[in-house]
Amino acid sequence: MAELPGQMCMMCGEKKATLHEEEIDVPHFGKTFVFGIFCNGCGYRKNDLEVSEKKQPMQYTLEINSEDDMSIKVVKSSEATLKIPRIITMESGPASNGFITNVEGVLERIKKIIESAAESEDDSDAKKKARKMIKKINNVILGRDKLKLIVSDPSGNSAIISDKATKKKL
């Protein structure tokens, strides 16, 4: 892994940012470059990834219906939209991060987003809805409920790596 400390932060302008790059081989996906920046001054953080070979724009759909599905690998670039119908849509864009994790890691990230949003909510109905969503996600993690996970990426730098996942060209 290569690191370059003392870089200019694009948010606060101080030379307290560290850039890092790592090359990893993701099984059944290929050589992938993981990039990141973290600023010790303001706390700004951004991650992304890019595959070494050109991929086609794709959409992956996975029916999560067992505890075994928690270990399925998910690769998401910042250009991808991740969606769990009736729960959340994580849009692509400047605030979007890329990551490599598994289904359980995706669900844990989504739980944190919902929990954070619920904490700042004053509406009791919205808090109740958030608690229901978190309960559903917990039941999915335990294999007691099911969800659909959709990753759409016009750059082709994302995937759900499983024979269970369906894929189609965008």
pLDDT, tens digit, 9 for 90 and up, residues 41-96: 999 999 988 888 778 999 999 999 999 999 999 999 999 999 999 999 999 877 78
Domain identity same for 68 and 47: no
Integer angstrom CA distances of residue 156 from 21, 72, 87, 90: 20, 18, 24, 17
Count: domains in the chain: 2
At 146-155, the pLDDT tens digits run: 999 999 999 9
Residues whose CB falls within 8 Å of the CB of residue 86, separated by 6 or more in sequence, listed in order: none
Q: Which residue has the tokens 């944190």?
A: 112
pTM over 0.75: yes
Domain match, 76 and 38 both: no
Confidence of residue 3 (pLDDT cuts 50, 70, 90): very high
Enclosing domain of residue 117: 54-170
Task: Give me the sign of the Cα torsion angle 38, 82, 62, 168.
Answer: negative
* Domain CATH for 137: 2.60.120.1040
What is the C-alpha R_g of the chain?
A: 17
Spatial distance between the Cα atoms of 158 and 83, rounded to a whole number of angstroms: 13
